[in-house]
A and B are shown apart, each in its own frame.
Chain A
Amino acid sequence: MLILSRKPGESIVIDGRIVVKIVRLEGDMVKIGIEAPREVPVHRQEVYDEIQGNNREALTEHRPQLPRALTRPNVAAEPELACAKGS
Chain B
Amino acid sequence: MNTLEIPEMDMRQTEGRDIIRLPFGLLGFEHVKQYTLLTNPEEEPFMWFQMLDNAKRAFLVVPPFRVAPDYQPDISDDEVDFLQLSSPSDAFLINIVTLRGNHHATVNLKGPIVINRRTLIGKQVILNNAAQYSLHHPIGAA
Residues of B within 8 A of A (CB): 23-24, 26-29, 38, 42-46, 48, 50, 56-60, 62, 65-67, 69, 82, 96-99, 101-105, 108, 110-111, 124, 126, 130, 135-136, 139-142
Q: For residue A53, which residues in chain B have a CB less than 8 angstroms away from its CB?
A: 28
Residues of B within 8 Å of A50, CB to CB, are 110, 135
**A70 interface residue (CB < 8 Å to B):** yes
Q: In the bound complex, do residue B24 and residue A76 qualify as a contact, i.e. CB atoms below 8 Å apart?
A: no
**Closest chain B residue to A44, Cβ basis:** B126
Any B CB within 8 A of the CB of A57 = yes
Residue of B24, B48, B60, B108 near A51 (CB, 8 A) is B108
Segment at the interface with B among A2-10, A15-23, A25-33, A60-68 = A60-68
Chain A contributes a number of interface residues (CB within 8 A of B) equal to 32
Q: Are B130 and A67 in contact (CB under 8 A)?
A: no
Q: Are A41 and B102 in contact (CB under 8 A)?
A: no
Contact of A47 (CB < 8 Å), options: B24, B45, B56, B130: B130
Q: Is A85 an interface residue (CB 8 A)?
A: no
Q: What does the 1/0 interface line of A65-80 toward B look like (CB < 8 Å)?
A: 0111111001110010
